[in-house]
Amino acid sequence: MKVECKKCGFNDFPNTEKSNIHIKATCKNCNSFIKFLPQNKNEIDFVFYFGKYKGRNASSLVGTNVEEFNYLKWLLKQDFIKLKDNQIEILKKLTS
């Protein structure tokens, strides 16, 4: 998606990089920060931003050991943790 840099007016596809749980867009012309891009709702993975496995992809917990896999199943049952709808769907797919 093309975006316009508010600093220099350059209008093109931005440089993108994963920044923690966000996708950061910067101008190709002046390298200024433009905005955080929306995450794709159809992603097949996401990065945990909390808890024991902070910074790890959800898919990395599948097939490694039973404790990590059970964490994903446990997480789905918790109502105090606010997951986005797409994250819930991803966890359901990973644990089925």
Q: First-to-last CA distance in the chain?
A: 34
pLDDT digits (tens, 9 = 90+) for 11-29: 988 888 877 767 888 999 9
Output the pTM of the full model.
0.55
Which tokens is 95 given? 């644990």
The DSSP output letter for 72 is: H
pLDDT of residue 71: 92
The answer to whether residues 46 and 30 belong to one domain is no
Grade residue 1 by pLDDT with cuts at 50, 70 and 90: low
Same domain? For 70 and 50 the reply is: yes
Buried b (16+ CB within 10 A) or exposed e, 78-92: eeeeeeeeebeebbe
Q: Two tokens at 79?
A: 């109502």
Nearest alpha carbon to residue 49 among 84, 73, 24, 9: 84
Does one domain contain both 53 and 92?
A: yes
Separation between Cα atoms, residue 22 and residue 20, nearest integer Å? 6
Instruction: Summarize pLDDT for 34-85 with one digit per residue, the tens.
Output: 988 766 555 678 888 888 888 888 888 888 789 999 999 999 998 888 888 8
- Same domain for 32 and 13, yes or no, is yes
Domain that holds residue 43: 39-96
